[in-house]
Amino acid sequence: MKIQLKKILEAGQGGEAGRKEGERWAIAGMATLLTGQKASALTMFARGVALLERAWRERNPDFQGGFKERVAESVRFYEETHQHPVNRRLHQIGIPLIVGGAAGLVLAPAFRPLWLASAGSFAVGWGLNILGHAAFEKNRPAFSADPLSFVTGPLWDLKPLVDRVSRLRPRAA
């Protein structure tokens, strides 16, 4: 099983064709999650992320950093592609809906009330993000060029909330 999964994740083209294929697999994995086929959805999504990361590495052959530097580069790219204030606000609402919805879709029994609420949250969150990019930012979602934005995006979008909370806390003397 482990070898078979490794083959699924590693197979595929490189370059721009690989990036497009990775984007299709990631989107298909997210859509499949809405059908209740969790294992298939997660495998498809993982394949998409692997292809997107390979394409990112090919486009950035001079990148020599480790994980910390890769995350910093992803945050920089995410900030660069999320400048419009309305898009940023839509993401600050949409990203938590997506993350919470995805967790519910994976953890709750399919087609039960919690799963259905999670599906709605996931879909509305993606709708807000797509609206932000199409109507305001006028660019593609960051994951289409940098798959690590699936992680750094939610962290970046939640940073203003964390900053506000930390300013409210009394400082120790």
pTM of structure: 0.86
Q: How many C-beta neighbours within 10 Å does residue 72 have? A: 12
- Label residue 115 by pLDDT band (50, 70, 90): very high
Q: How many C-beta neighbours within 10 Å does residue 75 have? A: 19
Residues in the chain: 173
95-104 CB burial, b ≥16 within 10 A, e <16: bbbbbebbeb
Structure tokens at 48: 């998409």
Q: Domain extents for the chain?
A: 1-62, 66-173
- Label residue 95 by pLDDT band (50, 70, 90): very high
What pLDDT digit, counting tens, does each position of 39-93 carry? 999 999 999 999 999 999 999 999 999 999 999 999 999 999 999 999 999 999 9
